[in-house]
Amino acid sequence: MAINCQSQLHRHPVGLLDVLEQAAADPQQAPRLSMGLSPTLLSLLSNVELSRRFGPWLAVRQQLLHRAPAQHTAAANDLAERLERAATAWQTCGGNLLPRFRRLQEAGVLDLLTCAATHGYLPLLRDCPEAVRAQLLTAVREHERLLGVRPQGIWLPECAYYEGLDRQLVSCGLRYAILDAHGLLHGQPRPRYGVYAPICTPAGMAFFARDSESTLPVWSARDGYPGQASYREFHRDLGWDLPAEELESRGIGCPRPLGLKLHRVSGRQCRLEDKQPYQPGEASATAVADARHYLRGRAEQLSALDGAMQRPPLLVAPFDAELFGHWWFEGPQFLAGVFKQAHQCGVALITLRESLSRGDNLQLCQPSPSSWGQGGYHNYWLNDSNAWVIPQWHRASRAMVERVNRGVASAADRDLLNQAGRELLLAQSSDWSFILRAGTTTELARERIERHLSRFWCLMEALDQGTSPPPEWLAAISREDSLFPRLNAADWATPARRLSASTD
């Protein structure tokens, strides 16, 4: 069975790392996890300023826990201990988590995947193939820079696929990815083993499919474990309950969620104001029991498949990593229970990369266009709320390609073109389209898209006119949008001109 997690841009995976390291240190366990670390997350984790601010951020929350009502003492004390351990671990590793990820990969515990550079929704960028290639090459380069090895696997943004993407992936050195079930089940020809074995395209790209039976109990609060009454309630937060003046005295301008949650779910129909105090011991025991229940279900599923297949069946269960510790506070404890009990329940854990290294023959198949978003295809990122941005992406991408193909005359022009590439990548983030469709903080999403595109066009105008942007402005945007230090504008060159357009 393969378990896969994708880390999101702003979620801190300390709890998940602790679970993995503790399981790896136990000779009785064999933890395995394929995990996607997006290039933007890697940039955040390697940012010195953000690392410096994390300690004070924790300290404020530790102080506020002392203001929790008396009926929440047990939950507050437990959370305070967790924050203290997080602070100690942060100091021990010098605020740099990346070596811990590298060590787990070297030990075979983690199989680290990349993502598109800024989580660009690739099917909507396909009109300009060079734009897709730039998203991929930038990601591969950043992964290698920060983790020391070139990635072979990729978590496609939203698991979204279009015809021919496999050739682009292979050309960038990538070899395997995950799709939603219908990406394989609607493939040509239909895979003999359905979602229970990977397939390979004629271009040489392997694809795995999500098994809904293995994922539903874990991610669904309505039909699965996260909705258990004893688990911590996500939506009730101490930041809403404390007096505004208390928050202001700590430098927090207004009531808002702080990550300090002291209530339990209490029941699926329980109103938010009626939630009961969280009991950490009871929740931990539930997580262990749920892990055992989950593994027994997978063992039964694998046993039934084993008699119908001529190769070992594989269950692929992909999740957003924010499920484990953010949306579902006990998620890391659940995973710890899975790692500890897997062997006794008769379930072998394996990474995607390990499963391919077994040498099993893979059926040749062309996957179907698909995603794991609402509706299963591309409509969540292409609808009346966000379609306006796609022509702007296309126009900017084609301008970038045309300018790169003309070459650069100086190091200064190269720097301007590289910065234009950063702005374009940032404008292409699918998170903005998602926010526009969801209807949350839509003004922020629109402003960020327009900001990055405006900066892009200012840089392109300076290049076309042979002028230099105002030094203060250029210094400000270079400082603010400084991710991907090895970005290479030549990635946007058309293949026949890529060598001559190199800006290395």
Question: How far is it, in rounded angstroms, from Cα 393 to Cα 397?
Answer: 6
Domain that holds residue 346: 2-14+30-42+112-220+286-364
Q: Is the dihedral of CA 357, 136, 8, 476 positive or negative?
A: positive
* Domain assignment present for 375: no
CA distance 226 to 335: 13
Per residue in 26-59, pLDDT (tens digit) is: 999 999 999 999 999 999 999 999 999 999 999 9
Does 105 map to a domain?
A: no
Residue 372 lies in a domain: no
Quick: pLDDT tens for 354-368: 999 998 999 999 999
Task: Please state the pTM of the whole predicted model.
Answer: 0.94
Amino acid 497: pLDDT: 56
Give dist(CA 310, CA 426) in Å, integer.
46
Are 120 and 90 part of one and the same domain? Answer: no
Helix 212-219 with 280-306: angle, nearest 10 deg: 170
Which pLDDT does position 335 carry in this prediction? 97
Q: Is residue 121 part of a domain?
A: yes
Same domain, 245 and 324: no
- State residue 499's pLDDT score: 46
Same domain assignment for residues 397 and 253: no
| Alpha-carbon gap, residue 333 to 22, rounded angstroms | 11
**Same-domain status, 173 and 272:** no
Same domain for 485 and 398:
yes
Low-confidence residues of the chain, pLDDT below 50? Answer: 8-14, 499-504
Statement to judge: residues 210 and 257 lie in one domain: no
What is the rounded CA–CA span in Å between residue 378 and residue 127?
A: 15
Instruction: Count how many domains the chain has.
Output: 3
Backbone angles phi, psi at 161, to 5 degrees: -130, 145
Q: What is the CATH number of the domain that holds 397?
A: 1.20.1430.10
Q: Do 150 and 215 lie in a common domain?
A: yes
Q: Are 322 and 212 in the same domain?
A: yes
Mean pLDDT rounded to a whole number for the chain: 94
pLDDT at 14: 46
Kindly report, residue by residue over 298-313, the tens digit of the pLDDT: 999 999 999 899 899 9
